Amino acid sequence: MNLPPVGLGTMGVDDPAIVETALDAGYRHLDTARIYDNEGVVGAGLAASHVSRDAVTVATKLWVDDLAADDVRVATERSCELLGVDSIDLLYVHRPRGAYEPSETLPALDDLVDDGLVSHLGVSNFTVDQLRTARDHLDAPLAAHQVERHPLFVRDDLLADAQTHDYPLVAYSPLSGGRVRDLEELRTVADRHGTTPEAVAVAWLVGTDGVVAIPKASSRAHLEANLAAADIDLSDEDRALVKSVAEEVELYPE
């Protein structure tokens, strides 16, 4: 699946104007989830925008209590209703727990693709073993894997799986919840490029083959800065310095 280097993460977004502004600024990938309780907000922003629906990848996720085979379709139809769309471009299993049963949940998701309600299927917060099991039970190709990834938390085994099997790794919380601005390594690289540590974090992520980022932002200035970060050309020395960050912080452990 081809996704833009930078999309909009919407966890906590409660104003449709933010989504409308993001689309006007050039965003073409909107990411939400049932558990965010804002699919209606995202849908309202999409509806208000001058950007064609067909030009935007709309992604959402089924929460753990929507993953029983009998619940998958009802939950997905509800997401479509809230988002104001006829079909969902990318539907994720948010976490592989709760009602998730690979042999039952994943065939039910395949049925949604066969019926045209969903275009592509993804997973989120899976381990490599869980990814392997998912591929065993899915007919549709795995289109994306969304994971926490930022300079303070890197799982290269997940990147390797994505690159081997040719699907994008979608990095959520790419700014480490704002912590990147306090990292000396990122401040050093930012000074070299006349930019911010936040921009360096995004550039470092999307400069890796197969990785896209979905930072959250509210103001137009920050929305545009995150988009522009994709054009920052980090040197090998820059990238090595970012990678050298020793501290590890997982913001959303299981």
Burial class (CB in 10 A: 0-12, 13-18, 19+), 73: middle
CA distance 179 to 51: 33
Strand arrangement, sheet containing 8-9: 8-9, 29-31, 57-62, 88-93, 118-124, 142-148, 169-172, 211-213
CB 215 within 8 A of CB 6: yes
The DSSP bridge partners found for residue 120 are 90
Three-class DSSP labels, 35-54: HHCCHHHHHHHHHHCCCCHH
CB 223 within 8 A of CB 170: no
Which of the following is catalytic: 27, 36, 100, 172? 36
Total residues belonging to the chain = 254
Q: How many CB atoms lie within 10 A of CB 31?
A: 27
CA distance 199 to 186: 9
* 36 assigned to active site: yes
CA distance 168 to 56: 17
CA-nearest of 72, 62, 65 to 92 is 62
Instruction: Give me the active site residues, please.
Output: 36
